[in-house]
Amino acid sequence: MRIAVIGTGYLGAVHAVGMAAIGHDVVGADIDPAKIASLAGGRAPFFEPGFPEILATTLESGRLRFTTSLADAATGADVVFICVGTPQVPGSDRADMRFVDAVVEEIGIHLGASALVVGKSTVPVGTAARVQARLNTLRAGMPSVEVAWNPEFLREGFAVEDTLRPDRIVVGAATERSIAVLEQLYAPLLQQQIPFIRTDLATAELVKAAANSFLATKISFINAMAEVCETVGADVTTLAYALGHDKRIGSLFLRSGVGFGGGCLGKDIRAFRARGTELGAGPALAFLGEVDEINMRRRRRTVELAAQMLGGSVAGSRITVLGAAFKPNSDDVRDSPALWVARALHEAGAQVTVHDPEAIDNAKAVAPQLHYRADLLAAIDGAELLVHLTEWDDYRRLEPAVVADLVAHTRILDARNALPVEKWLAGGWQVEALGRSLSGGSPESTNWDTTEVESIIEQSEGVQYA
Ligand SMILES: NC(=O)c1ccc[n+]([C@@H]2O[C@H](COP(=O)([O-])OP(=O)(O)OC[C@H]3O[C@@H](n4cnc5c(N)ncnc54)[C@H](O)[C@@H]3O)[C@@H](O)[C@H]2O)c1
């Protein structure tokens, strides 16, 4: 089939190569000429494991090309995917629909009579119906085209895998014909027994909002438990471990830490709540405000704990922040808890040096006031406190004894509960972590094997974030 993918960011670029990989002829379009030049030249414009390789093979196959002309992409396409951003409107909780709307205006009259427009962007419920109405108006006197919604659930860091082997494909459509087109499009995936869930437009839109709300709630739930643990001197990692054994609860997304961030969860729960309020369902989604608040409190608590470790104030202290990306295996710094904390420490007068294996360029663009070091050991050199904020493997592999020779003071704050803290404590370090009392008590007070926790962390890598 001939496919157009409009918007080639983290979602669209991976979707475009994924569709070419399963045999379709794909044109990716974006208004960002640098991004298009990079993709057309076989260079990934962002860090995503496995993406450069699949970009190269699909470009070589001749089934994939890129353009800055939306009209060119839409003309002759059987299916046009809308994959543009839906960020938060500044100063409001609502989703900014300008980009989706601009695409509709631009492609409207270029679509062929049998084209199907399929939204993948995460949107407020009712958007698909609104897009359908607008296309009907734009195409007055021309054959009408149908709109379907096919929300995307990929996780950055696992985007290629999730595109080619999703947990499920959800398709909302108004007609059997639209469903049939998407069934044909995804046939190579459906052969792998991937569930194909067909529904109406509004339900499809809501599945995405509900999925992200659930994930955010699970993270904030365990982070609320961390707050309680801090109050009574209990240990949230043991609590989460014990909870996770209950099959009705499960251990995934139950790692307490500095909370969620990135380009999706935060803005999606806010937009969902705002849309619910507009539609008269505000009370049903009011709890998402608390989920958001718990999440933001963890960031503030991290800054507070850093100050406590430094004797009450971070002012004038040299702090090395380990991680800038919102999650490991990504260079995405949108609403990154790591950068939020780094900036707050800087604001409070600390001399902050940030390290990240992949996200330094993006971080510099949004937080130029911070110091950055690409070399991990150089970043650590002379630090009075290390704050672990993004759980890259590089940090888990650090040897406390080696690091001790570099720092000015052996203090580390694990804001992700992902470091082997026993090793750091055994090396004579002062260690603090969110939701635990490591300085007062000792992890020996637990009777479970901490290597087991390490393995749970490994297993839940990447499922911790949307
Ligand atoms: N990133 C994820 O992990 C993820 C996962 C699931 C769903 N989503 C959703 O997918 C959507 C896109 O997210 P993203 O992370 O890829 O965003 P992004 O910012 O990385 O990419 C958006 C792209 O759209 C382009 N664009 C904007 N206006 C355009 C226009 N008029 N025509 C063509 N291109 C245009 C931008 O230049 C940019 O390249 C959002 O709704 C997001 O919530 C993202």
The number of beta carbons lying within 10 Å of the beta carbon of residue 299 is: 19
pLDDT in the model for residue 437: 86
Superfamily of domain 2-199: NAD(P)-binding Rossmann-like Domain (3.40.50.720)
- Residues lining ligand 1, judged by CB closer than 6 Å? 6-12, 29-32, 35, 70, 83-86, 99, 102-103, 121-122, 152, 154, 156, 263-264
DSSP 253-283: T---SS---SSSHHHHHHHHHHHHHHTT-HH
Q: Which residue has the least CA distance to atom 10 on ligand 1?
A: 121
Span 222-265, pLDDT tens digits: 999 999 999 999 999 999 999 999 999 999 999 999 999 999 99
Q: Taking 50 as the threshold, does the pLDDT of residue 464 lie above it? A: no
Structure confidence at residue 438 (pLDDT):
86
> Which one is catalytic: 264, 385, 419, 433?
264
Minimum CA distance residue for ligand 1 atom 15: 10
pLDDT tens digits, 168-192: 999 999 999 999 999 999 999 999 9
Say what percent of the chain tops pLDDT 70. 94
Helix residue ranges, H only, 42-175: 51-61, 70-74, 98-107, 127-138, 159-164
350-387: burial string, b at 16+ Cβ within 10 Å, e else: bbbbbbbbbbbebbeeebeebebbeebeebbbebbbbb
* Residue 439: predicted pLDDT: 66
Q: What is the DSSP string of 168-229?
A: -EEEEESSHHHHHHHHHHTHHHHTTT--EEEE-HHHHHHHHHHHHHHHHHHHHHHHHHHHHH
Does 2-199 match 232-459 in CATH topology? Answer: yes
Taking the C-alpha atoms of residue 10 and residue 30, their distance in angstroms, rounded to an integer, is 12
- pLDDT confidence of residue 440: 54
Query: Residue 9 corresponds to which tokens in the numbers above?
Result: 């960011």
pLDDT at 448 > cutoff 50: no
pLDDT surpassing 70 at residue 446: no
CA distance 67 to 30: 7
Domain ranges within the chain, ordered by starting residue? 2-199, 232-459
Ligand 1 centre distance from Cα of residue 122 (Å): 9
Q: Is the pTM of this model over 0.85?
A: yes
Read off φ and ψ for residue 64, nearest 5 degrees.
Answer: -130, 130
**Average pLDDT along the chain:** 94
In the residue annotation, 83 being an active-site residue is answered as no
* Terminal CA-CA length for the chain: 29
Nearest atom in ligand 1 to 154's CA: 5
Q: What is the pLDDT of residues 53-82, one digit of tens each?
A: 999 999 999 999 999 999 999 999 999 999
Q: Nearest 5°: CA angle at 451, between 448 and 457?
A: 105
User: What are 88-109's pLDDT values in tens digits?
Assistant: 999 999 999 999 999 999 999 9
The architecture CATH gives domain 232-459: 3-Layer(aba) Sandwich (3.40)
Residue 82 Cα distances to 9, 73, 136, angstroms:
11, 12, 17
